[in-house]
Structure 1
Amino acid sequence: MGNSSATVSMSLVQSDSESEAVPLQVMVISSIVLGIYSIVGTLGNGLVILAFCMYRQVRTSAHAFIVSIGVSDILITGLQYPTGIASMIIGAPSLGEAMCPVLGAALFFSIYVSLFSVLLIAFNRYTHITKCPTTYQKLFSPFKSLLWVLLSWVVSGLLVAPGFLGYGEFGWGKHRKCGMTDDNPYNAHYESNIFAVSYLLVFCLVAGIYLRIYFFVKDSVVTMAEANLNLANREQYISSRVIKQTKHMFIIFFVFTSTSAPFVLLHSIDSHYPFLPSEVAFALIGMYCLNHVMNPFVYAWKLPVFRRAFKAIIRCRRQLPFQAGAGVN
């Protein structure tokens, strides 16, 4: 009986010490910020998914990959953030111990889906701009686009699998969240060798694809200009719509990279050799979480068809109003 009491007392001390790992001011600020992120991100990503389902003009192959990002983002903003806030406040997994590994795995899974969707968008744009229409239709017909999306989800699932096979472990962490546990010695290796390497590989591929697009457009301008030396403005030989498509999708990639790369790269190093001050780590996490909230607003800003669709949904219109000169993005 005495041993049992001592065990309970020891558990309470350990629980209190773990609670102190998250300062009160950090908990309050995190809860407020994540609460705002959750509401805004869920509404925004919900609009993206609803626009794709409701309006035929939005249902293009390139937009299918944007919707894939929206689905993965809403899993984070609508599920991860609210349960994360509750877990932080109560000091235990809000959905129970059994669901904690699932939530941790779902977090990484959602991030991988967003990552590969960005790659598919770049590949889609490259094929659309540099290849003939027949080739584009073969690779990105509606059915093929669905297969591409399913493939990205399957690969994301395979990248999560090592966390259930001993190379890392998903579950409850000391910072009151469901992610990677603190006990498995391979957690740092998973975050650096699988998570960070996957991110770097996709980043290099996407950056290379956009560079190829840039040089293709540049070479096309030069070729057309040499055939028409008597005209002053060489850029008029490249379709402005093609150039806008390239710029819009590159901006989406740039926003994704600028908000996520600092956290992914620095955290992968910090997991092996801790060097980041807690304030810096907190700021990086906040910026990374913002990525899942910003995407719908980037689409509305740079893609007119989404902007029109959002307005139509807010006005409860079942049909997207016709707009002369509005091309497919």
Structure 2
Amino acid sequence: MGAAGVAPNLLVIYLALRVRKLRTATNAFIANGCAANLLVCAFWMPHEAAAVSGVGPAAPGYHAFREALLLVGVAASLLSHSLVAVNRYVLITKAPATYQNLYQKRRAEWMIGASWLVALGCAAPWVTSAGRAADRGPCANATSRYASALSEPRAAATLALCIVGQTPVVLYCYFKIFRRVQVSVKRVSVLNFQVVTNLPYSFPRRDKRLGRYVLAVCFAFCLATQPLLWVLVAGLFVEVPGALRTSLWLLFCTLFVTNPFLYTWKNEEFRKSLRAVVRGEHWRGSAVGAEPAAAAVSAVSHVFPRQNSRRAFLEEMN
């Protein structure tokens, strides 16, 4: 799982940084999530596999450090999901001026920095729990060492709160986007922010899929997080079988592997940039330059009504 997650996360980060056309606020939040995923996929997963195999370092301090980095990566990744969801919600449902004012470069940088500060704050109780587990002596076997962090009430509560804090934000934003896309005459692909001008009447089936893509992102997030959330909450009161806890934890870890595909597999700009890099076109300078963000926002402004009155909405439809 770690090997499968490192390459796509690195690739998305590289494209977002290297290709000028992809340097947008939304892609910055996606790349931020991929960087957090790398803490889990590139560092924690290989070391945890070694620990389960009995060949990893057994020092209590190293164990606490490894678990702390795990929570930092998990919290920052979950916060990135919320940042992407809110960004898309504001872009599609609010006025263009609101989006431009809110997502200026400096403010977007502060949002990314704040997500890491919050993630670091979440690591404090995790380190305390790991230290107490180490004080009780070495684990009896590799399996108990694998589940020790999740078994600690404080660590489990911290992870549960991280999931609880992000789920309402993701659900609200994507369902609002879904409703707006469904009721508008012209459709907007919320996965790559391109205005679709000729779909409503000639391609009704394809037109309806745009909203389903949003629900697919929301469903994948909930599928990976909610089962583990309920197990963590139940574990605070009753004994949860280790096999169930471990299996749901592995399901949760798939989120860090699939995130790059989740946000880019329908993004035509990412696919074009990937083909350009593979063919060497980007290095020869033939890749398309950055498209002004104002043009994309201006295009969106023609899709949705700026007023709330019924008359203005009907005029917009006509």
Could you tell me whether the CA contact under 8 Å between 2:21 and 2:288 is conserved in 1?
no
Residues 249 and 314 of structure 1, relative CA distance in 2, 3 Å threshold: farther
- The reply to whether residue 260 of structure 1 matches residue 221 of structure 2 is no
Which residue is 1:169 aligned to?
130
Highest CA radius of gyration, 1 or 2? 1
* Aligned residue among 109, 127, 131 for 2:72: 109
Which residue is 1:84 aligned to?
48
Could you tell me whether the CA contact under 8 Å between 1:104 and 1:178 is conserved in 2?
no
- The reply to whether residue 308 of structure 1 matches residue 272 of structure 2 is yes
TM-score by length of 2: 0.72
Residues 286 and 127 of structure 1, relative CA distance in 2, 3 Å threshold: same
Residues 68 and 178 of structure 1, relative CA distance in 2, 3 Å threshold: farther
Could you tell me whether the CA contact under 8 Å between 1:92 and 1:176 is conserved in 2?
no
Offset of residue 83 of structure 1: 0.9
Helix, strand or coil at the partner of 2:57: coil
Residues 122 and 304 of structure 1, relative CA distance in 2, 3 Å threshold: same
List structure 1 runs of 4+ shifted beyond 6 angstroms: 242-246
Could you tell me whether the CA contact under 8 Å between 1:263 and 1:288 is conserved in 2?
yes
| CA deviation vs aligned residue, 1:40-81 (integer Å, no higher than 9, x gap) | 211111101111111011111111111111001111111011
Residues 287 and 44 of structure 1, relative CA distance in 2, 3 Å threshold: same
* Aligned residue among 196, 201, 206 for 2:170: 206
Could you tell me whether the CA contact under 8 Å between 2:22 and 2:270 is conserved in 1?
yes
Task: Compare 168-177 and 204-213 and name the one that shifted more.
Answer: 168-177
1:210-221 alignment, distance < 5 Å: 210-218=174-182, 220-221=184-185
Which residue is 2:149 aligned to?
180
2 CA distance for matches of 1:181 and 1:120? 26
* Aligned residue among 240, 243, 257 for 1:293: 257
Helix, strand or coil at the partner of 1:212: helix
Offset of residue 152 of structure 1: 1.1
| CA deviation vs aligned residue, 1:170-210 (integer Å, no higher than 9, x gap) | 5657323496286xxxx314413x32133123201221222
Residues 249 and 294 of structure 1, relative CA distance in 2, 3 Å threshold: same
Helix, strand or coil at the partner of 1:65: helix
2 CA distance for matches of 1:113 and 1:244? 30
Offset of residue 217 of structure 1: 4.0
Which residue is 1:20 aligned to?
none
Q: Which structure 1 residue ranges, 5 or more long, are not aligned?
A: 1-36, 223-232, 237-241
- The reply to whether residue 64 of structure 1 matches residue 33 of structure 2 is no
Residues 269 and 246 of structure 1, relative CA distance in 2, 3 Å threshold: same
Residues 320 and 120 of structure 1, relative CA distance in 2, 3 Å threshold: farther
- The reply to whether residue 126 of structure 1 matches residue 89 of structure 2 is yes
Could you tell me whether the CA contact under 8 Å between 1:119 and 1:202 is conserved in 2?
yes
What is the Cα-based RMSD across aligned positions, in Å? 3.5
2 CA distance for matches of 1:105 and 1:179? 13
Offset of residue 219 of structure 1: 5.2
- The reply to whether residue 280 of structure 1 matches residue 241 of structure 2 is no
